[in-house]
Structure 1
Amino acid sequence: MSVDLPRDVVLPVEVIDVRLDPEPHPLEISHKAEIAANWEREIASNPRLFNGTVVLVSEMSYEDGRLTGHCHAARYATFLYWRRHRDVPGTGHFYAHAMLVSSDNALVAIRMAPHTVNAGRIYFAAGSFEPNDFRNGVVDIDYNMRREVKEETGLDLAVAERGVLAYVLSTERGTVIFRRYWMPLSANEIVSRVNAFVAAETDPEISGPVVIHSAADQPDDLLPHMPPLIEWHFSQQRH
């Protein structure tokens, strides 16, 4: 098993055939004690972490616009262990971004809340895939995107124009598949709506929205995979 994609290049995706394997992830079996010990350290540092179910990749490849792979349901503790040991073979993180584009062509990202594992970091609203993001065993990236954007920002992607193609970027930190969604709102209007949603939440996942107006407008605290996505967007036509 391997995760074998070209690194650090944005690639178009026409077909997504990433499947959920019912068997446990090999990492969860082979490193059970280490995962448990690391989880104790993680919750000692941040007691609000929840050991829910996420999805980790065991195999993934890309060829001629086709992204294929196998995923396994795993505990969040397993994912956090992998984050500290990214060189474990046959293991990878696969997640999705809905790239929100305002009517005035700004990108709208989010800053994560202080209690989250990525506290203060900036990226597009996202979360790890979960088993309910798969339809007939195959990942539904747009369902995941709609769910995560709604949960974090209150925005409904049903009002947006969906980009024709998805794209993938693989780095040493993981593999992100993303799609542009053009919102029928200006950046200021999106900011107002997201801020109102966050203010009304008892325990919001994000601190608030972050607007990016150009390829040169890259705020501090961006996660490392974000600059290539920002630069890609502002170099592309609408499609």
Structure 2
Amino acid sequence: MERSDTDFSPRGIVLTDALPDPATIALFLDFDGTLVEIAERPDAVKVLPETQGILRDLNAKTRGRLVIVSGRRLQDLEQFLPEFDGVLVGSHGAERRLGGVHETSSEGQSASFENTCRTLRAWAGKQNEILLEEKPASLVLHYRQAPSMQSECQTIAAELAAVMPGFVARSSKMAVEIMPKAISKERAVLRLMKDWSDRLPIAIGDDRTDEDMFCAADAQGGFGIKVGEGETVARLRIDNVAAVHALLRRWTNISGASR
């Protein structure tokens, strides 16, 4: 039988079981490559009006247990999702908005972090099409517009992280990030699940950093859904952003979930 974009599968095997009632789950969604298509520059992504509506409806169906978990800064998520009033986790967990309250980790408040900021600003300023993104607790070198610079970006990030106590260089899609070892999407999910132990955690994402979310969901009795190709620890797989939207719409259409 031909597989449609709305099917998702465990490592290639089509899963046709009914979706769990959204009132019984905690749903953790990545942003770039999951809710929106990846753009050449982080500020160039487009959020469809339909996406805003889906998130609003699904947040109601899950009774506030829908979470956007992203490597992006919290203020960027709020800018892209102005209609979403649910839980936001930014900077891989260094920032959080829960119940309208904003929290920020103090991990980036150190002399070594500021020194690295200055070093990378000077270096990136001399490179063509290398974008330095500064976050509250991490620094990202984006080389999507200059893929030939991948090795050099990864090398300088690794060298700088090596002399920053408690920091590490982590690669993602066309980028490398210097970030605290204590910060991860896994810890962000586990922190929320301490108060949501009655829910089934489901994590959906496309990037290497989302593997942490999948591990957290598994550890709490749930599962991960990998978007697109590539090796993964997730038990299930879905094709692309359009398929994610179709899956989320199916959840919003489940009757009786918000009774």
Shorter-chain TM band: under 0.3
Tell me which protein shows more strand as a share of its residues: 1
**What TM-score, normalized by structure 2, do the two folds share?**
0.24
- Larger helix proportion of the pair: 2
Query: TM-score normalized by structure 1?
Result: 0.26
